Amino acid sequence: MSTQSIILTGDRPTGPLHLGHFVGSLRNRVKYQHEYKQYVMLADAQALTDNMDDIDKVHRNVVEVALDYLAVGIDPTLSTIFIQSQVPELTELAFYYLNLVTVARLERNPTVKEEIRLRDFERDIPAGFLTYPVSQAADITAFKATLVPVGEDQIPMIEQTNEIVRRFNRTYKNASTQQEILVETKALVPELGRLPGIDGKAKMSKSLGNVINLGATADEVSKAVKRVYTDPLHLKIEDPGHVEGNIAFTYLDAFDTDKAAVAELKAHYTRGGLADSIVKKRLEAVLQEMLEPIRVRRAELASDKGYILQLLREGTEQAREVAAQTMREVRAALGLTYF
């Protein structure tokens, strides 16, 4: 892929990030930042679409999530980390895009449909929530992002963004060169997809209470490992056990770098004669070793909030310049240039 590729990615800052984020996105961002121009957005404005009654939580978590980013190695000299609400051009762009989509189209968006169901919003959907895919289209296109790393379930968002881009480009062009202004984007779906929760549920999620946070203490990690779902049919040590659906092994596959040792453990477990406690002991060692430097770095950074805010301010200024340039082009194309 060309070095011209631009990535826009981000998270709603509603809680600390966990191992699921690490596997699904953070780890890839650390890699992508060397290969592409990468913008990482703290989507606080989007978080408000279903947290207007708990704005404080969103405020607090802007810094918490920024700490998670830095602790795992997202490098502010390589990636532009910024706060969505402090780039008002994104809101302005979304406002115009709203006229390029229909309410019916938004109601058909499968991702939004599912989220509305999960939140019991069927009767009273905040208009901002229903239209957040439009705001997301503004986020992506303001940076002319060509790649958006997303899970499978977010693909409809990318399709909706490209519909807006095509509608816009068909009608509105650069006033002097007649060139297209907006750029279509592509979903970048990670190979190693979703990490299941410690309870064996398909998704690790704060609301399901089955997470291991990146900032978890050693004791919390240890307790979580004890709760990790294994094979309910593996009652006696000598019984043959199953490794599929056994979360201890799923996590070892995801995090243990010694693949041969894991293969050996799996064979032994399947054969019978290997206790869950031995598997979990290895899992705990692997997780503690991986999380310890993240925890230490996180704590160091957390002791200097001023520094974090300074980084975010600089990232936001950079991001704002880029978004403002796109917004100037869009305004000119729409003829919204009076003075």
* Residue numbers at the binding site for ligand TRP (CB under 6 A): 8-12, 43, 46, 136, 139-140, 148
Minimal distance, residue 311 CB to ligand TRP, in Å: 20
Burial environment of residue 51 by CB neighbours within 10 A (0 to 12, 13 to 18, 19 or more): middle
Minimal distance, residue 67 CB to ligand TRP, in Å: 17
- CB count within 10 Å of CB 180 equals 16
Comparison of 92 and 139: residue with beta carbon closer to ligand TRP: 139
Comparison of 8 and 181: residue with beta carbon closer to ligand TRP: 8
Burial environment of residue 81 by CB neighbours within 10 A (0 to 12, 13 to 18, 19 or more): buried
Tell me the C-alpha distance between 68 and 214, whole Å.
7
Comparison of 15 and 241: residue with beta carbon closer to ligand TRP: 15
Minimal distance, residue 119 CB to ligand TRP, in Å: 13
Comparison of 45 and 274: residue with beta carbon closer to ligand TRP: 45
Minimal distance, residue 284 CB to ligand TRP, in Å: 29
Of the candidates 94, 152, 156, the one whose C-alpha atom is nearest the C-alpha of residue 127 is 94
User: Which residue minimizes CB distance to ligand TRP?
Assistant: 43
Contact yes or no for 45/85 (Cβ under 8 A): yes
Minimal distance, residue 131 CB to ligand TRP, in Å: 13
Tell me the C-alpha distance between 224 and 215, whole Å.
13
Minimal distance, residue 337 CB to ligand TRP, in Å: 27
- The rounded Cα 260 to chain-centroid distance in angstroms is 31
237-260 as b/e, with b when 16 or more CB fall inside 10 Å?
eeeebebeebbbbbbbeebbeeee
- CB count within 10 Å of CB 23 equals 19
Comparison of 131 and 230: residue with beta carbon closer to ligand TRP: 131
Comparison of 9 and 246: residue with beta carbon closer to ligand TRP: 9
Comparison of 25 and 230: residue with beta carbon closer to ligand TRP: 25
Minimal distance, residue 276 CB to ligand TRP, in Å: 34
- CB count within 10 Å of CB 336 equals 11
